[in-house]
Structure 1
Amino acid sequence: MKRGVEKTEATERKRIRRQSSTPSLPLDLTSEIFLHLPAKYVVRFRCVSKLWSTITTQPYFKNTFEARSNLLLFFKDGDKLFVFSLSQQNPNPNESYLHYSSRPIDSYHMTYPKSCSFTCKTESVQGLICFRKAAKLTVWNPTMRTFLNLPTADKSWRVIAFFLGYDPVECKHKVMCMPSDEASDEASDEASDECRVLILGSAKQSWRKIKTNYKHRPFSGYRMGVHGQCINGVLYYQAILGSDRAIMSFNVRSEKLSVIALPLEGFWKMKLIRYGRKLACFGSNGNSMWVLEDAEKLEWSNHIFLHLSHYEQGLQNFKLVGITDDGELIYVQSTVFKSFPIIYIHPTRKTFRRVEYRGIAEEDIRQRNGFGERSLRGLQV
């Protein structure tokens, strides 16, 4: 009898433990709360329980969390890598001129990986960034604070052009690369009709050879530090085909290449940017942009902006690095002293805002990390 009572009590204790371990909030609500937290807390909370670890490592959660439209700023100092997440939200979009201060949403520093070279990188694609050092590639996940060194695509390639894409249907990142001679923007022997493709997260990290119908060579065009654009599952980059220049499109899912003619003959000194959910070519004159309205019909629309010379004094020593989801051009300085300003210009709305981001280069940050009075160089956005 006593043994039966003890067994019943043990069963009841197990039942109570199971009930107490059951989440008091629905899983979708718990996931939604995590999506609004800074990355450092999400990383910590993975250690709380298997359930929380499962929630924060699901593909849907990672893709949604990593796609949040914040601006990522990072720079190297010694053997440390400093990372800051900045909000792009405009506090008053109806004002034509704003000048205010803000602070990073999140920040951290970590050991700088020797396998990386931040001078040659892709833009962030669904939360990941790819770097190249010679012909070696490294993929960085700033949210999870992890680096992945990729195997060499082809040992005979001394220098490569590389692109990071994302397939929104199958939720897969892919890296595509091919040989490239960066010393010249003219046709060369480095033109190729094949590339290599690697699927990130696959069980076997290996490159596959993809044959194309176009012998071409990627080139950097306006040389503004961006290697292609991935928009709606399609990679776009500039290339030389024989004696012509064009834009190549690479469907990340089907892995098929196509050629898109430039909007204007001779219009090749440009920066490819994302404009909403479309590809756009921003000219070197600073006041004209062509938007690819229909990739199949090759229909471009021209947008003439307010001439940016109106802000010429405010833009001294600034460079264009991209565009916000709201259509604002983003200008940053490559060298920072006591403050870190970013200028946002919306050409069609004719709005201008200058944001001084505090907590990046001020005295307390310098003393804490040993920066001294020197300028901070090599900032990447």
Structure 2
Amino acid sequence: MSKSASWSFPLELTTEILLRLPPESVVRSRYVSKLWSSITTDPYFTNKFETRSSTRPSLLMFFKNKDKLFVFSFPHHNQNSNEPRSFSQHVDCYHMKYPKDCSFPFAESVHGLICFRTSVNRPIIWNPSMRQFIKLTKPGKRWKDIKVFLGYDPIEGKHKVVCMRRGKVSGEYCRVLTLGSAQQSWRTVETNHKHFAYIDCYSRCINGVLYYEALLDDDSDASIIMSFDVRTEKFDMIKLQLHDFWGMMISYEGRLAYLDYYNPMDNGGIKLWILEDKEKHRWSCKHFVTPFGPRLETSYKIDGVTDAGEFILVPLTFLKSFFILYFDPVRNSLRRVEFKGIADENFRFRNGLGNKRLSALYTIPNHVESLVSF
């Protein structure tokens, strides 16, 4: 097609075609012409792209091998479709080098981005869709050990990084940085509550509010949840009142919840504590009996919940292909999806994986594609 012919497409059609491209291709298209660059950098385009992506969430899986990160994006299958209970699914995969000093603790995908920290106490942001890592500046020269969280404000469409000293009382202030801001600098924000952020803790951003686990300064046995409104940058405290319970923090039906589960293979079931009223610190409890029984020949772990309300189970170790299980507590049904992301022998040997059994598979549910680039 000639250059002149390419401009004969109506603007609406050109926009629609570009919206269907994967994120990395969208960014490359910006170098084709000034028109395409103008289209794909316009807030209307980026918002529409990410809105469409949010309707197609995926299970992001990755593992480390030497200096490489192997990444697999596995679409969450629609539980209401007519496909069989057990089937194979196409997987998008790639591998890339990652920063050597990057650690991967309990993390979540926050509107397409994932936040970690490095061993030298620099926050680092990863956009899996763009295959890009970016190291942020240190929040404080004297901060020797840090804890970082990532939040997203859906109203203003902004990501914010929250940082505090790890294992120290955060009674007066923390540091906050808005990604993509002109100055890209840290601001001091008062926390209003003296507390310790857990050294290794879960965090979740739900509907513009960031939650993370902590302890009260005056009572080392008092476990609490701290909340941070991403838009107003106000902190608040939530009492757990869950007796002797402690589990995995998740988002369930748009609310903060804690997942406590017995061994899913022995039919012990799944217990879920759901935050019903943040102001009154009121929680409710649900218990689901699982239909697993002795059918599971592999050891599985529950690793989150899809936006559709299905619990996701992944194997603790794997060799080549394996099954991901989705448990629907409402229907009390189980379906299996076969993952074949690393079954190809040439791929395994070419990348030094061989036939050894792999473990430490990181899984992040409900990941959406993002055009955020740094």
Which bracket does the TM-score occupy, shorter chain normalised? 0.7 to 0.9
Q: Residue deviations 1:190-232, cap 9 Å, x none?
A: 4543211111111222211111210001226xx7xx6310011
Mapped partners of 1:65, 1:121: distance in 2: 27
Query: 2:355: which partner in 1?
Result: 373
The equivalent position to 2:273 in structure 1, one of 268, 281, 290, is 290
Would the aligned equivalents of 2:317 and 2:359 in 1 still touch at CA under 8 Å?
A: yes
Q: Residue deviations 1:227-259, cap 9 Å, x none?
A: 310011000111111322111110001110011
| SS of aligned partner of 1:341 | strand
Summarize the alignment of residues 174-189 of structure 1 with structure 2, pairs less than 5 Å apart.
Answer: 174-181=160-167
Mapped partners of 1:202, 1:238: distance in 2: 28
Would the aligned equivalents of 2:172 and 2:190 in 1 still touch at CA under 8 Å?
A: yes
Q: Does 1:326 align with 2:308?
A: yes
Query: 1:184: which partner in 2?
Result: none
Query: 1:162: which partner in 2?
Result: 148
Query: 2:85: which partner in 1?
Result: 98
Moved more, 364-373 or 247-256: 364-373
User: What residue identity is the alignment partner of 2:209?
Assistant: V
Query: 2:99: which partner in 1?
Result: 113
Q: Does 1:193 align with 2:147?
A: no
Moved more, 168-177 or 352-361: 352-361
Residue 91 of structure 1 deviates from its aligned partner by: 6.0
User: What residue identity is the alignment partner of 2:237?
Assistant: V
Moved more, 162-171 or 351-360: 351-360
Mapped partners of 2:97, 2:19: distance in 1: 26
Would the aligned equivalents of 1:73 and 1:84 in 2 still touch at CA under 8 Å?
A: yes
Residue 66 of structure 1 deviates from its aligned partner by: 5.6
Would the aligned equivalents of 1:121 and 1:129 in 2 still touch at CA under 8 Å?
A: no
The equivalent position to 1:270 in structure 2, one of 233, 244, 247, is 247
Mapped partners of 2:82, 2:342: distance in 1: 28
The equivalent position to 1:355 in structure 2, one of 337, 351, 359, is 337
User: What residue identity is the alignment partner of 2:191?
Assistant: T
1:201–1:191 Cα change, 3 Å: closer
User: What residue identity is the alignment partner of 1:373?
Assistant: N
Residue 74 of structure 1 deviates from its aligned partner by: 1.8
Query: 1:258: which partner in 2?
Result: 236
The equivalent position to 1:305 in structure 2, one of 285, 288, 295, is 288
Residue 147 of structure 1 deviates from its aligned partner by: 1.3
User: What residue identity is the alignment partner of 1:130?
Assistant: C
Query: 1:148: which partner in 2?
Result: 134
Query: 2:211: which partner in 1?
Result: 236
Q: Give the TM-score normalised by the residue count of structure 1.
A: 0.81
Mapped partners of 1:263, 1:32: distance in 2: 50
| SS of aligned partner of 2:349 | helix
Mapped partners of 2:277, 2:294: distance in 1: 33
Mapped partners of 2:353, 2:224: distance in 1: 44
Would the aligned equivalents of 2:68 and 2:97 in 1 still touch at CA under 8 Å?
A: yes
Query: 1:248: which partner in 2?
Result: 226
Question: Gaps spanning 5+ residues in structure 1: where?
Answer: 1-16, 182-188
Q: Residue deviations 1:157-214, cap 9 Å, x none?
A: 3332221000111111000021223xxxxxxx54543211111111222211111210
| SS of aligned partner of 2:137 | coil
The equivalent position to 2:116 in structure 1, one of 131, 149, 152, is 131
Query: 2:40: which partner in 1?
Result: 56
Would the aligned equivalents of 2:202 and 2:248 in 1 still touch at CA under 8 Å?
A: no
Residue 312 of structure 1 deviates from its aligned partner by: 6.1
Q: Residue deviations 1:288-324, cap 9 Å, x none?
A: 212223333444332221246x346528532222111
Would the aligned equivalents of 2:150 and 2:161 in 1 still touch at CA under 8 Å?
A: yes
| SS of aligned partner of 1:193 | coil
1:21–1:32 Cα change, 3 Å: closer
Residue 139 of structure 1 deviates from its aligned partner by: 0.3
| SS of aligned partner of 1:72 | strand
| SS of aligned partner of 2:285 | strand
Query: 1:122: which partner in 2?
Result: 107
1:379–1:34 Cα change, 3 Å: farther
Mapped partners of 1:62, 1:23: distance in 2: 23
User: What residue identity is the alignment partner of 1:304?
Assistant: H
Query: 1:171: which partner in 2?
Result: 157
Higher RCO (CA-CA < 8 Å; seq separation 6+): 2
Would the aligned equivalents of 1:122 and 1:164 in 2 still touch at CA under 8 Å?
A: no
Question: Which of 1 and 2 has greater Rg?
Answer: 1
1:360–1:215 Cα change, 3 Å: same
Aligned-residue sequence identity (percent) comes to: 47
Residue 132 of structure 1 deviates from its aligned partner by: 1.4
Mapped partners of 1:54, 1:282: distance in 2: 45
1:159–1:332 Cα change, 3 Å: farther
Q: Give the TM-score normalised by the residue count of structure 2.
A: 0.83
Q: Does 1:345 align with 2:330?
A: no
1:33–1:301 Cα change, 3 Å: farther
Query: 2:9: which partner in 1?
Result: 24
Residue 50 of structure 1 deviates from its aligned partner by: 2.8
Mapped partners of 1:199, 1:66: distance in 2: 22
Would the aligned equivalents of 2:98 and 2:133 in 1 still touch at CA under 8 Å?
A: no
Query: 1:81: which partner in 2?
Result: 69
1:132–1:52 Cα change, 3 Å: same
Query: 1:71: which partner in 2?
Result: 59
User: Would you say how many aligned residue pairs link Structure 1 and Structure 2?
Assistant: 348
